[in-house]
Amino acid sequence: MSQQPPVRSTGSPPPRPDASMSLLTNVMDHALDDGYAEASARRAADGGGLPRTLRAKLGLAAGLVLAAAVVTLGAAQTQISAPVVAKEREELIDRIQAETTAVDGLETDIERLRREVGERQRAALQQHGGDQGGLVALLSGATEVTGPGVRLVVDDAKATDRGGDGPREGSGFSDTGRVRDRDMQRIVNGLWQSGAEAVAINGQRLTALSAIRAAGDAILVDNRPLVPPYTVLAVGDGKRLATRFQDSADGRYLHALEENFGIRSSVSAQDRVTLPAAPSLIVRTAQPRTSGTGTGDGRGAADTGKGTS
């Protein structure tokens, strides 16, 4: 009876499902680096890296105690200093509030004294003005003025040109689209020359001694800053005043600012405008001088026109 030859080959094992992902499989199977694994095994064999000698253990314990003491001391100091800091902050807030209240009180006193001085100055003008008291009060800005006039509004350009060259770049303003102090000076002078009887800018009454100046980029009227748009009110014959101003050299100057720099303006005649009195006045009086005879001090006898032989 014949026997079956033995089977010597068992065949190749079936392929792994993840055979096509050999790189990822290798990373997953060897997640820990071989060198790191050897170092970890060596530390474990040496006792886990902890100190073995009593002296080393005592040193480690002392270091831990010192670190704990430093942390505890810092926390204690923080808790102790927190109320002190809070108290100092409250005291500082109280001082600021007290000083602010004091400043507000001083400003109120200043305004009250200004009104009192203004009332006395107006009374003095009316008393010493005689028949011309009303005219003197009007010209000096001592009284409120109401009547027909002109409303002129001047504002900066919408899109300003920075750093352009032109006749206006020489001053302190870097933006040629802004209204400047000398622009307002020309506008106000043009209104006076066109027949205005009284002028105010943004509620600030102008007098013969008023000054229009610049401080940085701000325009000041009698040391008080103005904010654009600038509203100029002038009392006078409304239509005639508006026409004469627009035809004047200063009116053409304002028109040139509109065309060249985009500054906006509008002029309109008004049936009624009201200008407040000037906030502060400087009262000055003048005495007629007589021709002196030899002394030159102006206090000699008046010349009678009679000759001597």
Question: Is 49 a residue whose pLDDT tops 70?
Answer: no
Tell me whether residue 70 is in a domain: yes
pLDDT given for residue 231 in this prediction = 94
Give the chain's domain count: 2
The answer on 133 and 196 residing in a single domain is no
Q: Are 267 and 242 in contact (CB under 8 A)?
A: yes
99 & 154 share domain? no
Report pLDDT digits (tens) over 71-105.
888 877 777 777 777 788 888 998 999 999 999 99
- For residues 117 and 219, membership in a common domain is answered with no
Residue 31 within a domain: no
**What pLDDT is stored for residue 113 in this prediction?**
87
Work out the percent of the chain whose per-residue pLDDT is above 70. 65
Q: Could you check whether the bond before residue 229 is cis, i.e. omega within 30 degrees of 0?
A: yes
Q: Which helix (H) or strand (E) holds 220?
A: strand 218-221
Is the pTM here over 0.85, yes or no? no
Are the C-beta atoms of residues 176 and 164 closer than 8 Å to each other? yes
Q: Does 265 lie in the same domain as 187?
A: yes
Q: What is the mean pLDDT of the chain?
A: 76
Do 123 and 154 have their domain in common?
Answer: no
**Residue 115 carries which side chain, given as an amino acid letter?**
R
| pLDDT (tens digit per residue) in 149-208 | 999 999 998 866 444 444 344 444 455 788 999 999 999 999 999 999 999 999 989 988
Compute the distance between CA of residue 165 and CA of residue 144 in angstroms, rounded to an integer. 43
Identity of the amino acid at 94: D
CATH code at position 208: 3.30.70.1880
Instruction: Give 242 or 37, the one with higher predicted confidence.
Output: 242
Please check the confidence at residue 253 and state whether its pLDDT lies above 70.
Answer: yes
Q: Give yes or no: residues 139 and 149 share one domain.
A: no
Among 152, 159, 153, which residue's Cα sits nearest to residue 176? 159
- Print the domain residue range for 108: 56-143
| Residue 245, in any domain of the structure | yes
**Same domain, yes or no: 150 and 131:** no
Span 283-305, average pLDDT: 54
Are 92 and 71 contained in the same domain?
yes
Task: Measure the CA–CA gap between 212 and 190, rounded to whole angstroms.
Answer: 14
